[in-house]
Chain A
Amino acid sequence: QQQVKQSPQSLIVQKGGISIINCAYENTAFDYFPWYQQFPGKGPALLIAIRPDVSEKKEGRFTISFNKSAKQFSLHIMDSQPGDSATYFCAASMGGGSQGNLIFGKGTKLSVKP
Chain B
Amino acid sequence: DAGITQSPRHKVTETGTPVTLRCHQTENHRYMYWYRQDPGHGLRLIHYSYGVKDTDKGEVSDGYSVSRSKTEDFLLTLESATSSQTSVYFCAIRDLLRAQYFGPGTRLTVL
Chain B residues within 8 Å of A96, by CB? 98
Interface size class of A (residues with CB under 8 A): 20 to 34
Q: Is the interface of A mostly helix, strand, loop or mixed?
A: mixed
In the complex, which of the residues B40, B56, B100, B104 contacts A102, with contact meaning CB atoms closer than 8 Å? B100
Listed stretches B13-21, B41-49, B63-71, B73-81; interface member: B41-49
State A57–B42 Cα separation when bound (angstroms): 25
Known contacts A100-B31, A101-B48; A106 and B102 CB within 8 A of each other:
no
Q: How many residues of B contact A (CB 8 A)?
A: 21
Q: Is the interface of B mostly helix, strand, loop or mixed?
A: strand
Q: Which residue on chain B has the smallest CB distance to residue A6?
A: B42
Known contacts A43-B105, A97-B50; A89 and B31 CB within 8 A of each other:
no
Q: Which of A91-114 contact B (CB under 8 A)?
A: 93, 96-98, 100-102, 104-107
Query: Beta-carbon contacts of A33-44 to B below 8 Å, as 1s and 0s?
Result: 010100001111
Chain B min CB distance to A24 (Å): 15
Inter-subunit contact A45/B42 (CB<8 Å): no
Which residues of chain B have a CB within 8 Å of any CB of chain A? Answer: 31, 33, 40-43, 45, 48, 50, 56, 58, 90, 94, 98-105
